[in-house]
Structure 1
Amino acid sequence: MPQKTKNTPMMEQYLSIKAQYQDAFLFYRLGDFYELFNEDAVKAAQILELTLTSRNKNAEEPIPMCGVPYHAASNYIDTLIEQGYKVAICEQVEDPKTTKGMVKREVVQLITPGTVMDSKGLSAKENNFLTAVLQQGERFGFAYVDLSTGELKAAQLEDEEAVVNEAAALQTKEVVLCSEIPESLQTTLTNRLNVVFSKQETLEENAEFQFLTEPLSQEIEKVVTGKLLSYLAITQKRSLAHIQQAVEYQPDHALKMDHYSKFNLELTQSIRTGKKQGTLLWLLDETKTAMGGRLLKQWLDRPLIQPKKITARQEMVQSLLDSFFERADLQEALTKVYDMERLVGRVAFGNVNGRDLLQLKSSLEQVPLIAQLLQGINRGEWNDLLLELTPLDDLVALIEAAIDEDAPLQITEGNIIKDGFHQQLDEYRTAMRNGKQWLAELEANERQATGVKNLKVGFNRVFGYYIEITKANLVNLDTSRYERKQTLANAERFISPELKKLETLILEAEEKSVDLEYRLFLDVREEVKKSITRLQKLAKAVSAVDVLQSFATVSERYQYVRPTVAKKRAVSIIDGRHPVVEKVLGHQEYIPNSIVMDEETEI
């Protein structure tokens, strides 16, 4: 007869943690698996195609359960996030060996569509913005952050339509509601963007958040940004050192286009396929770096309207157009630059590995050459950008000295730190490499000293290293030479002071070298972390250079003409060509046409 289900201490613990994360899948760590129970298990089994089993199969109400191996969990988590779900990662936070009773567990991170840091679904040339909205009276506070790059911006918006336009421009996947907002706005955001909603009513006061929101002039902007940062602190539970000081922006400082205009113009997304191909972004994107690709998209979303800024940008593109060989060298250097913005984010988050740091070094090594090439063509238009292109030779030297070129992906398995970086580690490695030779030499010396030709040095997991001599050879042996360790049927095992010393060296080296390497790697990471602000500044400058060379390349390839920005109310286009249509049709088939609109021509 089925028994009445009584929750075990483990299930009690699970249920108490799950109660705090009702809107997320709880990945509950049990040994080498993350387990899911009850509704989470039923739903996850269907979405992730997992086998659904149950706990307490003989109970009246068996508990549905399914699990994923912890080392392969990231793929399953990516799938859930891409489908708009949240995942709470619950880990053991005590050592089971030293704990009596239930091991303490707690959620160490909540991963949501807007807070993904490390996912295959995270496109290299696209930002992943998390947005926050706050309503006060008729006005809205609006803030957004890309957790992977640290970019943080805020604005004060006048109405619901402005909120929708901004959220649509960012293609945000998650909106944090910092107050009650009209149902109509929530419905519009859901219909147009298919976003996930989260709530953050409280504002955590701390000095770091005050520093980050300091540049904002409006109180509503400070509050919405503070609540957005509070949401990140609560969900991520780790360092946010890479988040940059908030930048206040005003939508009317860029060309105003509503969501429908951008959609119909197919600036970044094809109406037919929803993809990049066939859009203006597709035509213009000759960027060599992921950072440049993201910045190009941002520039397209917010075109300049101030003539001075437009002219300054044109001057830089013109100087690159006039310098073919320098531009070719510049492009080659940029192809060796990795995604510094996201690498810096991973440094701050603590999930960077040796290969990431090598990529960072490779990127930083290109900066002096990029700066030199731009100085060679500079007639004054590059002055401001060149000030930002400051080489970070100290970081290059640190990573060069510390990180092995063949560093593995894991940071806890050793072979990540170079020989010569740390004296104690070198001694451990010498012991490990020379251990066998030392033991062979000791064996040969002892055979000669004792006259016992079959004396051997061996190793046993229980007793460690030993000198073994058969009982037949013990008669003539000076036993004061050794200390007895173990008696066997046909032999005796001994230890000598020299062997004891070697044993300590070899075993300590094996045990401690990996731990020491891990600690040294963390020290290097902390040193890199101190340069986060410098790295982000540099990354922005390199991104801008990349977008400008892309404009020059496209202009030369398609023979585009530089427009003159005039103050008078007139538009004059002679032999105009639609760039995307022309690229699709081919230059020979496209027929240019002119258009002139002046003050007497109104539409």
Structure 2
Amino acid sequence: MSYTPMIQQYLAIKAQYQDAFLFFRLGDFYELFFDDAKKASKELEIALTSRNGGKDEYIPMCGVPYHAAKQYIKVLVDKGYKIAICEQMEDPKQAKGMVRREVIQMITPGTIMEDESLQPKKNNYLAALSAFDDGSFGFAMSDLTTGETRVALISSWEGVIQEMDANDVREMVLAPNFDTEKKEEMVARLNTTFSECDKDIVPEQLKGITAAIDQDKLLHPLGRLLNYLVSTQKRSLDHLQPAEVYHINEYMMIDLHSRRNLELTHTNREKKTYGSLLWLLDDVKTAMGGRRLKQWIEKPLLNQSQIEKRMDAVAALKEHLLERETLRSLLGNVYDLERLVGRVSFGNVNPREVVQLKRSLEQIPEIKRTLAELDEPSLVKYEQEMDPCAEVRDLIRQAIVDDPPFTTSDGGMIKTGYNDTLDQYRDATKNGKRWIAELETREREETGIKSLKIGYNRVFGYYIEVSRPNLKLIPEGRYERRQTLSNAERFITPELKEKERVILEAEEKRVGLEFQLFGDVRLKIKEQSARLQKLARLVSGLDVLQSFSSVSDRNGYVRPQFSKNRTLSIKNSRHPVIERVMRSGSFVANDIEMDKTCDLLMITGPNMGGKSTFMRQAALSAIMAQIGCFVPADQATLPVFDQIFTRIGAADDLVSGQSTFMVEMDEANYALSHATQNSLILLDEIGRGTSTYDGIAIAQAIVEYIHDHIAAKTFFSTHYHELTFLEKKLDRLKNIHVGAMEENGNVVFLHKVLDGQADKSYGIHVAKLAGLPEDLISRADEILHDLEQSSQDSVNQPVAQPSTTQKVTAEVEAAVSIEEEPEQLALFAEPNAQDESLSLSKREKKVLHELDKIELLTMTPMDAMNKLYQLQKSLKK
């Protein structure tokens, strides 16, 4: 089959961009063919047609208008696709043979630059990864819209996953031979598009970006990222900032499960910002401030000195309401400097955006004056280092009109007086149009045709139009016929034709010169990119600090103190998000007390009583403190936590085939494997996904392991009241419970945290609140009564001889129990004396012998669970 020359050209270009939709420019449309057309027609919900591709073969085709292409590209990019933009590189009217076409840009999820596809308060990161033989990874990321570029060395694969998740990496560039299993894991766990690039040597023209890098391991991923940008963007990347080397151990580590459990940047259920910590703290006035706020929340500080500097600034702004409100007003007039600079350097900035840059710069002197009036040491850096970039501001003032058009295609954006030649063209155009208006008046008077008019179109140029009934009034030989219409005739005169030439020539030159002058202005602004980017960083940081101050002032937050002896003491602690959502001021505050003699709080109480809320508010207060914000309390003293781990909520991981219980064990194991004495651990209802005995055994083993081997500050919420006896054995564990009371058969939640253990779980009462049928609730009460009676009977009467399985189960529970058992564990005690006469098989004796040898406190929870499973399995053979 021999395709037409145009289709052959398409196929040759498409072969170079197999993983992208090829938007092939044909006149006023971008066309897609073959499989691209089939897939795009479904994704974009547009008609699939066909065209003759050669001898008797029709090939699939669909297309979108070039002037509306942005909206279609956004849809595809949002779905994770890549688009190669193939343009006509010469005028079809002047081309000899096939019009030359080239791909001028690749648009991918990690390289989008158009505002329609970007979220103002969210970075859009492209990242690259390099794996090394020692198990470490080089990580580089860049936001093309702002020029921000960062690199880090990460010691573990899980660290890579966490870093990608924390930064919402949209696209990852890998070597073609990158580990397939790891790539599949990223696909399963993260919403990321993947691309390949085999070059990892930094391009010569971008070597300046590597000035601060002194490790070869960091140059490889950065080189891969930069080569990918060069190959896909095909234009200047001068706005990319020098790569910043950061160390992940300089920030509090929050794994992706904990980040989601705590709902730092979006809620778990609806995946929306509303209801998250980010939503609560977001009172910024600029888009770049919003992005900086998200970055700070994702990476709380470990350096107390840096934290205190932020706190000092927040305190100063909180104390000076008038100055703070002035700053907020001024910041409200600052546009997105970071992305404006990016668009200037990228070459796609429009005239209105340049004016936005000018208006933003006009606010800086006033911001500096306001900061100087505050005279606060913590804010001196912002006042002194903010560069107003007056040259850029004055250039735009002189060159660009105050209300320019969106595009540069028709001119109208350069001020009169900025360029003499342009003024001459404008004068010629203006005078020429005045002459035409005068000609129209004169011709009407001399011919007596009142309806005569002079018009213009792109095909015929200027013309004199006379309606058909008035043709007889035209003096013979006065006009030269140009066009016949159904109800009129159009004419031209030599004089009008000459004036048309002068006007159109001046107009064409005016538009061309304006475009050139605008380009010159853009280049002059681009030369100041580094200054503008530094200014943007300072403005965005100040914006976040004033946001912290405003939120803290409005909600009655206090400045926390940091303890050296690991004391965690928060008076009248509140959950900041729930308190804000409730709005009524009815949130019940609670004290959190964990001095150096207490590492674990065992929390009991009914569902819906507030155990999870109590745990979460402690973690959120720690995070707020370490990003530099005040905290929701009357007084707070906190350690500086190096990591936060949470196991809250139950969910199956259906993608990887893991049950709720296995997910729970994995997350608990991750915490126990990585936590240190300086960490914060939140564990909620560990052990629910298995039998009661197994659950109690695992939960107790985890508590003991944390107490004896980690000593991290830990909140352990449980319904296993049987575990509260651990307070008598573990000297750094304390029992607390959330209060509830029974009133007229209904449970009343007090939401108050009290010392000691809860008296009951109130599970049936909660079921009643959930609306379960009355008959079901009554039956549950009967069953509960029978079970409680059986439990009491087992305490007061001799125990009947158990079955073999019952006996072994009791032995298992005894093995994970303690020497001094309270009344609550009577059901789980060792068999009484009369059971010793039972006849055991060799297999059963072997199991008991194995149980006797187990050193439980030296085992991890997963090892304990596996060992118990093996013993149980051996009994069933």
| TM-score for the superposition, normalised by structure 1 | 0.90
Matched, 1:570 2:567: yes
Match of 1:151 in 2: 148
Is 1:276 equivalent to 2:311 in the alignment?
A: no
Partner of 2:74: 78
Q: Which residue of 2 aligns with 1:343?
A: 340
- Whether the 8 Å CA contact 2:175–2:198 is kept in 1: the answer is yes
What is residue 517 of structure 1 aligned with on the other side?
514
In structure 1, the residue matched to 2:14 is 18
Give, as a single letter, the amino acid of the residue that structure 2 aligns with 1:63: I
SS of equivalent residue, structure 1 residue 97: coil
CA contact (8 A) 2:433 2:503 kept: no
Asked if the contact 2:569/2:593 (under 8 Å) is kept, the reply is yes
Q: Which sits farther off after the overlay, 568-577 or 37-46?
A: 568-577
AA paired with 2:168? Q
Offset of 1:362 from its aligned partner? 0.8
Map 1:252-331 to 2 at 5 A: 252-331=249-328
Asked if 1:582 corresponds to 2:579, the answer is: yes
| CA displacement at 1:503 relative to structure 2 | 6.1
Check whether the contact 2:150–2:244 (CA below 8 A) recurs between aligned residues. yes
1:340–1:360: 8 Å Cα contact kept in structure 2? yes
SS of match in other structure, 2:128? strand
User: Which residue pairs with 2:83 in the alignment?
Assistant: 87
Compute the displacement of 1:419 (Å).
Answer: 1.5
* Cross-structure match for 2:590: 593
Name the residue aligned to 2:385: 388
Deviation at 1:108, TM superposition (A): 0.7
In structure 2, the CA distance between the partners of 1:501 and 1:77, relative to structure 1 (3 Å rule), is closer
SS across alignment from 2:362:
helix
Match for residue 242 of structure 1? 239
Change (3 A) 1:396 1:186: same
Unaligned 5+ segments in structure 1 are: 447-451, 475-484
- Residue 595 of structure 1 aligns with an amino acid whose one-letter code is I
Residues 57 and 453 (structure 1), Cα distance of their counterparts in 2 relative to 1, 3 Å cut:
closer
From 25, 37, 62, give the equivalent of 1:66. 62
Counterpart mapping for 1:485-504 below 5 A = none
User: Could you say if the C-alpha distance between residues 360 and 440 of structure 1 is closer, same or farther in structure 2, counting changes exceeding 3 Å?
Assistant: closer
Q: Which amino acid aligns with 1:84?
A: G
Aligned letter for 2:503?
I
In structure 2, distance between residues paired with 1:95 and 1:463: 21
Deviation at 1:119, TM superposition (A): 4.0
Partners of 1:135 and 1:180 within 8 A in 2: no
> AA paired with 1:511?
E
Match of 1:435 in 2: 432
Q: Which consecutive residues of structure 2, in runs of 5 or more, have no partner in the other structure?
A: 465-473, 483-490, 600-713, 715-877
The secondary structure found in structure 1 opposite 2:363 is helix
Q: Deviations over 1:178-217 (max 9, x none)?
A: 3633333212211121211101111355333221012112
Letter in 2 for 1:365: E
Tell me how far apart the structure 2 counterparts of residues 508 and 233 of structure 1 sit (CA, whole Å).
39
For residues 550 and 19 of structure 2, the distance between their equivalents in structure 1, rounded to whole angstroms, comes to 48
1:425 aligns with 2:422: yes
Structure 2 residue aligned with 1:549, among 517, 536, 546? Answer: 546
Q: Which residue in 1 is equivalent to 2:44?
A: 48
- Secondary structure of the residue aligned to 2:31 is strand
Distance 1:173-1:436 versus aligned 2 partners, 3 A rule? closer
2:92 to 72, 90, 96: 96
- Counterpart code for 1:336: N
Judged with a 3 Å threshold, the aligned counterparts in structure 2 of structure 1 residues 130 and 436 are, in CA distance, closer, same or farther, namely closer
Residues 172 and 440 of structure 1, relative CA distance in 2, 3 Å threshold: closer
Aligned equivalents of 1:562 and 1:142: distance in 2? Answer: 35
C-alpha change, 1:167 and 1:439, in structure 2 (3 Å) is closer
Q: Is the 8 A contact 1:164 1:189 kept in 2?
A: yes
CA distance in 1, matches of 2:84, 2:42: 18
User: Are 2:145 and 1:142 aligned?
Assistant: no
DSSP 3-state at the match of 1:56 = strand
Q: Which of the two has higher C-alpha Rg?
A: 2
Contact 2:237–2:346 at 8 Å: present in 1 too? yes
Matched, 1:121 2:117: yes
Query: Which secondary structure state, in structure 1, belongs to the residue aligned with residue 117 of structure 2?
Result: coil
Alignment check: 8 A CA contact 2:7 2:53 kept: no
Where in structure 2 are the equivalents of 1:158-177 lying within 5 Å? 158-177=155-174
Q: Deviations over 1:134-178 (max 9, x none)?
A: 101111000100111111000011111010000000111211113
Structure 1 equivalent of residue 662 of structure 2:
none
Instruction: Please give the secondary structure, in 2, of the residue aligned with 1:63.
Output: strand
Q: Which of these residues, 173, 176, 198, is aligned with residue 201 of structure 1?
A: 198
Aligned-partner residue type, residue 166 of structure 1: E
The residue type paired with residue 591 of structure 2 is: S
* Counterparts of 1:51 and 1:495, CA distance in 2: 50
Q: Residues 424, 275 of structure 1: CA spacing in aligned structure 2 closer, same or farther, 3 A cutoff?
A: same
Match for 2:255: what amino acid?
D
Change (3 A) 1:463 1:78: closer
Q: Secondary structure at the match of 2:164?
A: helix
Structure 1 residue 383: Cα displacement: 2.1
Q: Distance in 2 between matches of 1:459 and 1:590?
A: 73
Instruction: Note if contact 1:287-1:293 (Cα within 8 Å) is conserved in structure 2.
Output: yes
AA at the equivalent of 2:99: V
CA 1:500–1:370: 2 relative to 1, 3 Å? same
Task: Name the amino acid aligned to 1:582.
Answer: E
- State the AA in 2 paired with 1:20: Q
Q: May I ask how many residue pairs the two structures share in their alignment?
A: 579
The 3-state SS of whatever aligns with 1:107 is: strand
Give the aligned partner of residue 357 of structure 2: 360
CA contact (8 A) 2:34 2:61 kept: yes
User: 1:161 and 1:493 mapped to 2: Cα distance?
Assistant: 78
- Coordinate RMSD, CA, aligned: 3.0
- Conservation of the 8 A alpha-carbon contact between 1:343 and 1:352: yes
Structure number with the bigger relative contact order (C-alpha 8 A, sep ≥ 6) is 1
> In the alignment, which of 201, 220, 223 is matched to residue 223 of structure 1?
220
What secondary structure, in the 3-state scheme, does the structure 1 residue paired with 2:572 have? strand
Overall identity of the aligned pairs, in %? 46
Report which stretch shifted further, 244-253 or 388-397: 388-397
Alignment of 1:396-475 (within 5 A): 396-438=393-435
Partner of 1:30: 26
Partner of 1:7: 3
| Distance across 1 between alignment mates of 2:439 and 2:188 | 78
How far apart, in 1, do the equivalents of 2:287 and 2:433 lie? 49
Seen in structure 2, the aligned counterparts of structure 1 residues 253 and 501 have a Cα distance that, compared at 3 Å, is same
Partner of 1:558: 555
User: CA separation in 2, counterparts of 1:114 and 1:362?
Assistant: 29
d(CA) in 2 for partners of 1:573 and 1:533? 44
Q: Tell me the residue number matched to 2:728.
A: none
Distance 1:462 1:224, change over 3 A: closer
Change (3 A) 1:463 1:549: closer
Deviations 1:71-108 (A, max 9, x none): 00111110001011111100111222332111111111
Q: Is the contact between residue 428 and residue 505 of structure 1 (CA under 8 Å) also seen in structure 2?
A: no
Correspondence for 1:211? 208
> Are the counterparts in 1 of residues 330 and 366 from structure 2 also a CA contact under 8 Å?
yes
* TM-score under structure 2 length normalisation: 0.62
Equivalence for 1:39: 35
* Paired residues of 1:78 and 1:119 also in contact (CA < 8 A): no
- Following superposition, the deviation at residue 501 of structure 1 comes to 8.5
CA–CA distance in 1 between the matches of 2:289 and 2:492? 68
Residue of structure 1 equivalent to 2:536: 539
Per-residue deviation, residues 18-64 of structure 1 (Å, max 9, x unmatched): 11111111000000000000000011111111111111289654200
Q: CA deviation at 1:423?
A: 1.1
